[in-house]
Amino acid sequence: MRLGIVGLGFVALAAAGCAQVQTANPDTVPASDEHAVQETGPSPGAASDSDSLPLQARSPNAPTEAAPPPPPANLWQRIRGGFQLSNLQGPLVEEWEQWYSSRPDYVSRMVERSSRFLYHVVEEVERRGMPTEIALLPMIESAYNPQAHSRSHASGMWQFIPTTGKTYGLRQNFWYDGRRDPIAATSAALDYLEKLHDMFGDWELALAAYNWGEGAVSRAIAKNQARGLPADYGSLTMPPETRNYVPKLQAVKNLLSNPQAYGLVLADIPNRPYFATVRTDRHIDVKLAARLAEMPLEEFRFLNPAHNKPVIKAEGGEFILLPLDKAEVFRRNLNAHGQPLVSWQAYTVKRSDKAERIAAQHGMSLAQLKEVNAIAPRKSIVSGQTLMVPVTGNAEPHLPDLPAPAVARAPKAAKSRQVAHARVAAARKPAARAAHPQAKPVKVSARIKKGPPANRAMVTVQSRKVALAASEKGAPK
Question: What pLDDT was estimated at residue 421?
Answer: 45
Instruction: Given the residues 97, 123, 133, 141, select the one marked as catalytic.
Output: 141
Answer yes or no: do 166 and 222 share one domain: yes
Tally the residues of the chain: 477
Do 174 and 191 fall within a single domain? yes
Same domain, 167 and 92: yes
Point out the least confidently predicted range of 41-45, 289-293, 355-359.
41-45
User: What does the mean pLDDT of the chain come to?
Assistant: 81
Residue 396 half-sphere exposure toward CB, CA atoms < 13 A: 3
User: pLDDT band at 46, cuts 50/70/90?
Assistant: very low
Are 147 and 248 in the same domain? Answer: yes
Helix ranges, 55-213 (H): 75-80, 91-101, 104-127, 137-141, 162-167, 182-200, 203-212
User: Does a structural domain hold residue 201?
Assistant: yes
pLDDT at 251 over 90: yes
Lowest average pLDDT, out of 43-47, 324-328, 417-421, goes to 43-47
Residues 357 and 328 in one domain: no
Tell me the pLDDT band of 476, cut-offs 50, 70 and 90: very low
Residues 6+ apart with CB under 8 A from 29: 5, 6, 7, 10, 21, 23, 276
Classify 403 in phi/psi space as left (phi over 0), alpha (psi -120 to 50) or beta: beta
**Total number of domains constituting the chain:** 4
The whole-number pLDDT of residue 323 equals 98
Is residue 226 over pLDDT 60?
Answer: yes
149 close to 155: Cβ distance less than 8 angstroms: yes
Q: What is the pLDDT of residues 166-212, one digit of tens each?
A: 999 999 999 999 999 999 999 999 999 999 999 999 999 999 999 99
The larger pLDDT score, comparing residue 11 to residue 224, is at 224
Each residue's pLDDT tens digit, 422-448: 444 454 444 444 444 444 443 434 443
- Which tens digits make up the pLDDT trace of 107-121? 999 999 999 999 999
Output the domain CATH number for residue 382.
3.10.350.10
Contacts (Cβ under 8 Å, ≥6 apart) of 375: 369, 381
Distance CA(353)–CA(383), nearest Å, equals: 8
141 is catalytic: yes
d(CA 321, CA 275): 6
Residue 124 has pLDDT above 70, yes or no: yes
As a whole number of angstroms, the distance between CA 114 and CA 217 comes to: 29
State which residues form the domain around 421.
412-473
The pLDDT of residue 236 is above 70: yes
Is 115 part of any domain? yes
Count of helix runs (H) and strand runs (E) in the chain: 19, 7
pLDDT at residue 58 is higher than 50 = no
| Mean pLDDT of the region 157-163 | 97
